[in-house]
Amino acid sequence: MSLISRRSFLAAMATSTALVATPRLAVGGSRPKVVVVGGGAGGATAARYIAKDSKGEIDVTLIEASKKYYTCFFSNLYLGGFRDYQSIGHGYERLSSNHGVNVVHEWASSVDPSARKLTLGSGTTIDYDKLVLSPGIDLKYDSINGYSAEAQTKMPHAWKSGTQVQVLRDQVLNMRKGGTFIMVPPPNPYRCPPGPYERVSMVAHILKNVNPTANIIILDTKTKFSKQGLFTAGWDKYYPGMVEWIDSETHGGILNVNPETMEIVTDLETFKADAACVIPAQRAGSIASRAGLTDGDWCPIIPSSMQSKADENIYVLGDSSVASSMPKSGFSANSQAKVAANHIRGSLTGSKVYEPRFSNTCWSLVATNDGVKVGANYRAGEEKIEVVDKFISTNDEDSGVRKSTFEESLGWYSGIADDMFS
């Protein structure tokens, strides 16, 4: 979409609650084709909503390599022993049986935007009218000296859920008595801003029960973090003396890590871990940069529709996109997917395109029955997604409020899982 047409679009939006987009009718009577890459919170939701709401008018194909998707959200609760592993795994069968989505379990390897073609790992090509890319993150292993894909077994990042979280849990459970767990959170921006600190809470919860003389050191790459006051108050209350947070100015930077010796070298001193979680810097899933959609590490989008600024036939959702104030979270991706789905249906079938509405809430568990949350809703500004209103839990909440916040997060999990996969 050009700058001029984007302005007209926004102007039209400002004067009415709905507008009718010009339909792009399929040639030769065949249904218009939407291809979605990535079956996470962005992609699965987009595929489901486009197929469900178009009632068969649009041919929807979802490309996702894994047959079972293990959510990143709640993987920390598995780590802490609050969920079993199977409960965070979901299949795609109902997207096919309930809504007619074509689910293809393959890697998507490249996009040819000018020919509107997607090539899969097997070499098969698929044509599309609109492409939705929701590939999540890639980890920049070289952002930490000494770290690599191979280092993951010794110092797992466990930032893409799945088996690495199981490895990390085993390593925490098998730490020597009185040992040290080290967390290295990533620099901004990254997937799930409160995630590393919820993870610390969950590790502390385990250690308090099985290894109470152990300690936890956070060697941060930042000088502040999400929900900081809530987490630090929680650590003092539930795990007194166990958790030490050292910011980047104090330790002077992570110089290198050595997975063989389990050492993490900072400008201040060398720390030795018995178990460690090292989370590198991140960037958009590599298919996005290969398609020419990135500016730096991430994909700029048009806020009102989630279309790539580089190609109006491609929509970028979730962690890969530059969503400004919206954090990189499953909730955000799910919210963005509905805006994109509505816009795609409008442009392919002429259905009404309503004003974009975005929201996000991130729940974190600090200890048993003690949940905290931060949330906001957003509007599409001309250049950025902007915050309208927001909230955050407070330290003076009583235990009843914290328990209901945790229970709310359980309800949300089953809600979003249904919203993605049912």
Chain residues binding another protein by CB under 8 A are 17-18, 49, 53, 331, 334-335, 338, 342, 352, 354, 357, 359, 361, 373, 375-377, 388-391, 393, 404, 406-412, 414-416, 418-419
Min. distance of Cβ 191 from another protein in angstroms? Answer: 18
Q: Which residues contact 16 (CB under 8 A, 6 or more apart)?
A: none
Q: Are 259 and 146 in contact (CB under 8 A)?
A: yes
How far is it, in rounded angstroms, from Cα 182 to Cα 59?
48
Token pair 């020919």 in the structure block, residue = 115
Q: Is the dihedral of CA 110, 127, 296, 220 positive or negative?
A: negative
Q: Are 266 and 253 in contact (CB under 8 A)?
A: yes
Pick between residue 283 and residue 338 the one whose CB is nearest to another protein. 338
Min. distance of Cβ 192 from another protein in angstroms? Answer: 16
Min. distance of Cβ 24 from another protein in angstroms? Answer: 20
Pick between residue 165 and residue 376 the one whose CB is nearest to another protein. 376
Min. distance of Cβ 294 from another protein in angstroms? Answer: 27
Pick between residue 150 and residue 389 the one whose CB is nearest to another protein. 389
Pick between residue 141 and residue 354 the one whose CB is nearest to another protein. 354
Neighbour-count burial of 16, counting CB atoms closer than 10 A to its CB (0-12 exposed, 13-18 middle, 19+ buried): exposed
Which residue(s) pair with 215 in the sheet? Answer: 180
Pick between residue 328 and residue 373 the one whose CB is nearest to another protein. 373
C-alpha dihedral, 401 to 403 to 405 to 408, nearest 10° = -130
Q: What is the DSSP string of 258-313?
A: ETTTTEEEESS-EEE-SEEEE--EEEE-HHHHHTT--BTTBEEEETTTTEESS-TT
Token pair 């620099």 in the structure block, residue = 187
Min. distance of Cβ 74 from another protein in angstroms? Answer: 13
Pick between residue 82 and residue 141 the one whose CB is nearest to another protein. 82
Min. distance of Cβ 356 from another protein in angstroms? Answer: 10
